[in-house]
Amino acid sequence: MEANTVGKLIKLLSEYPKDMIITNQANQPFIHIINRQGEALTLSTEKPIGYCRKCGDYAYEELNRELDYPGQCPTCDENLYNFEINSLENGSK
Ligand SMILES: [Zn+2]
């Protein structure tokens, strides 16, 4: 499947009212936009809980409650303990 680009999105979005909410397929609103330094623009339905201490990218809440980890890093593809997560407030990305 061909990836969407910013250009395609701008063209598509120009046809919609500016205050219309954008959701994913499960009707969850995209609440966080991540600029990946010119590599990609990522829309997320989850708010990050901090920064991963290993790679510096955003860490998110681990939604699988059966695991004993509070966080996870999509970039490292690993679950994270609290001590592996820097807070957002410190800006220590
Ligand atoms: Zn990481």
Q: How many angstroms separate the alpha carbon of residue 84 from the centre of ligand 1?
A: 9
The one-character DSSP state at 26 is T
Rounded to two decimals, the pTM is 0.72
Q: How many angstroms separate the alpha carbon of residue 18 from the centre of ligand 1?
A: 34
Q: Round to whole Å and give the CA distance between 40 and 72.
A: 20
* pLDDT digit string, tens, across residues 24-36: 999 999 999 988 7
* DSSP conformation letters of 67-82: SS-SEEETTTTEEE-G
Q: Round to whole Å and give the CA distance between 77 and 4.
A: 23
Residue 32 carries which side chain, given as an amino acid letter? H
Q: How many angstroms separate the alpha carbon of residue 14 from the centre of ligand 1?
A: 35
How would residue 10 be classed by pLDDT, with cut points 50, 70 and 90?
Answer: very high
Q: What is the pLDDT of residue 92?
A: 54
